[in-house]
Chain A
Amino acid sequence: MGRNKVSAVRIFVDLLAGRREASALAPRDWDGVIGVARSEAMLATLAHRLEGADLPPSVAALFADQRAAAAVAQQQALWEAEMARRALAPQGIEFVLLKGTAYAAAGMACAAGRQIGDLDILVLASDIRRAENALLNAGWEWVKSDPYDDFYYREHMHELPPLIHKSRDRMIDVHHAILPRTHRITPDALALVSDAVASADGFAVLNPADMACHCAAHMLADGDLQGGLRNLWDFHLMTRDFAATDPRFWEQLDRRARLHGLQDAVQRAARLSRDLYGAVVAAGWNGQEASDRWFRQRLFARDDWGRVTRPLLEQAFYIRSHWLRMPPMMLAQHLWTKWRKR
């Protein structure tokens, strides 16, 4: 690689941010951009972002395929949400859609082309057993058969062990909180559910500030930043659009972030979305933090073949995610159990 060559992941981020014209790319640049976008599960997102741009014909054709496929996938994801509603509503169990399915149900900009994996829903902790039974009766079944994993989920996690529907082959994650029970931070799950709002097609989704809090928590407080570029793109678009319709949105976000103990995560997400995607954030959110550098490096750690580079940095973020998730003694026990079972 030449000294002056810009890496594919940076070109990809520039294209999303609108800092670089698609027409300025050389044909060979697209190889890496497409490879990185696929690795980040964001090819259809890029296809939407560059709809109507001046593209090489084969790229335009590939992007059209991606947009069409994402539309089908989104319809299937919303159908899955409807199936959950039909299983839970007769029992009087209310649930809130989370993540990709919620963005699609609410018709948000970040839903355009966004990959949706499992169906994620949030129920009140007091409803979790009944929700489990209702889903089992409606054709979902357990994925994990390992007794330790099952015990671990039930004792320490913020969700049931994953369930899969036996005929549709789709997974559902039923949460009663948005971070593990053992996490250093305990967001107010009751407030999340009771302050939820209705989407256009009648599903409950988190209110705007809570949705941004959850997005930041999922990206920065729970995981090891895998899929970080996608989560950050979600955060950027949702905060941009929420702020455009509600001038007091950033204040609300600050208030809810304090309520949930997520100020650090939310503020970092805002700074990173500014640094990577050129987000315009409110006054008071515009600071600098030296440690952001590591997060930026982790988000950019892909080579032009879409492979994760910097394995030590990746490992460090993996360890960090576990460190946040559980107290040290428990972490030691957990890793020991997992290691013995390898």
Chain B
Amino acid sequence: MRHSKRIAVGPVQFRIGSDWPEPIAALEQLYAGYPQDEARPADATVCLFAARSWRRWVRASVHSGGDFVVPAALPLPLSMGLLAAEMGMNLQVALGWRRHMLLHASAVARDGRALIMSGESGSGKSTLAALLGEGEWRLMGDEFTLIDPVSGDALAFPRAVSLKNEAIAAVAAQVDAARLGPLMAGTPKGDIRHLIPRAAAIAAMHEPARPALLLFPRFGGAAAIEPMGEGEAFVRLTEASTNYVALGEAGFGALTRLVRETPAFGISYPDSATGIALVEQLWAETK
């Protein structure tokens, strides 16, 4: 492809090709601080391409493909090329990665122990992780958390955090503007702006952390904490995993161990400050 960029996020080495320079330039800005190993072959390929050659110039529309292609995926305008790249990277990992059990969950770590937060889009798991990552915590990832079936450890996937809608202003108020990507307004997922994780979080992206607390946040409603049984946590996490079935017995073993060894809670919170207070409270109690 005409333009390309190599990005390593956690254990995954990507190569991203594009028919246009703009998405690659945007990725170069977001991922400038990530480790570069030119000698390392790519595990996963993402292609951003025009379905018809003239669509490269006229009302340019970006299709996202690569190793795996989802036929129903809608193209995006060139101004949202960065979102297409992000979705492409997610897709290739979700469908292609087999070394670890993938959880659709955010995670942060402290003292070598991980807090894992799983929830639907809109639960606030990304925002909570981003805000915690600006404090005492190491951001491990806002989208995927990887569980090593052998050791049971959580591994980081700290791609640029995808902030949405109200979360953009909440986080932007706390960070240096140089760590924010361009604002993409009115995407199919709402307004989106990326946050570059702190340098220390990127530098530590290969350090595993022991799962210590599992949370299932829900944004909205009064502050509440509800302990969750192993069975419910197990079922929710099978639904949050993109490769649980494909891993077979190894996936079952990893997930069983995770829910047996890690206390789990559902939390409801009306605003981010309350959410963070609940997290800190539960963390202190599980020590």
- Which residues of chain A have a CB within 8 Å of any CB of chain B? 27-28, 30-31, 34-35, 38-39, 56, 58-59, 61-62, 65-66, 68-69, 72-73, 75-76, 305-307
CA distance A31 to B17 in the complex (A): 12
Contact B43 A72 (CB under 8 A): no
B67 touches A76 (CB 8 A): no
How far, in whole Å, are A76 and B41 apart by their CA atoms in the complex? 30
Which chain B residues (212-254) contact chain A, with CB distance < 8 Å? Answer: 246-250
Chain B residues with a Cβ under 8 A of chain A? 1, 13, 15, 17, 38-43, 45, 47, 49, 65-68, 96-99, 246-250
Contact A307-B41, Cβ < 8 Å, known A38-B67, A72-B249, A72-B250: no
Q: Are B43 and A34 in contact, with the CB atoms below 8 A?
A: yes
Please give me the 10 A-B residue pairs with the lowest Cβ-Cβ distance, nearest first. A30-B41, A72-B248, A38-B67, A69-B98, A35-B45, A65-B98, A65-B99, A27-B39, A31-B42, A305-B17
- Residues on the A chain within 8 Å of B17, using CB: 305
Instruction: Classify the interface of chain A: helix, strand, loop or mixed.
Output: helix
* Chain B residues closer than 8 Å to A76, beta-carbon distance: 248
A61: chain B residues within 8 A (beta carbon): 99
A305 touches B45 (CB 8 A): yes
Whole-angstrom CA separation of A306 from B41 in the bound complex: 15
Q: Which residue of A lies closest to B40 (CB)?
A: A58
Instruction: Tell me if B66 and A72 are in contact (CB < 8 A).
Output: no
Chain B residues lying within 8 Å of A28, measured Cβ to Cβ, are 41
Nearest CB of B to A148, in Å: 20
In the complex, the chain B residue whose C-beta lies closest to that of A72 is: B248
Instruction: For the complex, give the distance between the alpha carbons of A75 and B246 in Å.
Output: 11
Report chain B residues within 8 Å CB of A35: 15, 42, 45, 66-67
B185 nearest CB across to chain A (Å): 31
Are B98 and A306 within 8 A (Cβ)? no
Residues of B within 8 A of A307 (CB): 47, 49, 65
What distance in Å separates the Cβ of B250 from its nearest Cβ neighbour in chain A?
Answer: 7
Q: A65-B99, A66-B98, A306-B66 are in contact. Are A56 and B45 (CB under 8 A)?
A: no
Q: Which residue of chain A is the closest to B38 with respect to CB atoms?
A: A27
